[in-house]
């Protein structure tokens, strides 16, 4: 059996995402993400973004819009981005990060970061598939 959701249902499910992380952080790390969400690690923290809310939900997509995140941020260390973590009040999601078209949860044009660099995100969305 296939479950199919209409746009209104998909948008409603994104409210849960918004409640979990709207005012949390998104951190970029070196290395490989832990085996479970929120698992301990010893990877280097490269940068921390802070969410200030999200954009309007439409057709199962909730964008992180201009103003919804403090940008740019300054890189805290030098290294290659390996994974990311979204976290707020104990709620955690660990994400794969790859170069553009690499198939990661988040794609970046270049994974190399140098301490002191200015880092920005040009496009970030949370998606709720409709099946």
pLDDT in tens, the chain (131 residues): 788 899 999 999 999 888 888 889 999 999 999 999 999 999 999 999 998 888 889 999 988 876 778 788 999 999 999 999 999 999 999 999 999 888 888 888 899 999 999 998 777 888 888 85
> Which tokens sit at 40?
């301990």
Name the nearest CA neighbour of 48 among 113, 123, 126: 113
| H/E run at residue 80 | strand 79-80
Q: What is the rounded CA–CA span in Å between residue 8 and residue 31?
A: 38
Pairing of strands 106-108, 91-99: parallel
Q: What is the pTM of this model?
A: 0.86
């Amino acid at each position: 059996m296939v479950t199919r959701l209409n746009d209104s249902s998909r948008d409603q499910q994104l409210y849960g995402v918004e409640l979990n992380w709207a005012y949390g952080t998104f951190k970029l790390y070196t290395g490989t993400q832990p085996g479970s969400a929120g698992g301990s690690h010893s990877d280097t923290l490269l940068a921390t973004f802070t969410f200030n809310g999200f954009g309007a939900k439409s057709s199962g997509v909730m964008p992180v819009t201009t103003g919804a995140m403090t940008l740019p941020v300054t890189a805290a260390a030098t290294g290659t981005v390996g994974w990311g973590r979204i976290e707020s009040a104990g709620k955690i999601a660990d994400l794969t990060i790859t170069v553009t078209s690499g198939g990661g949860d988040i794609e970046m044009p270049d994974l190399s970061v140098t301490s002191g660099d200015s880092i920005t995100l040009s496009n970030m969305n949370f998606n709720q598939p409709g099946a």
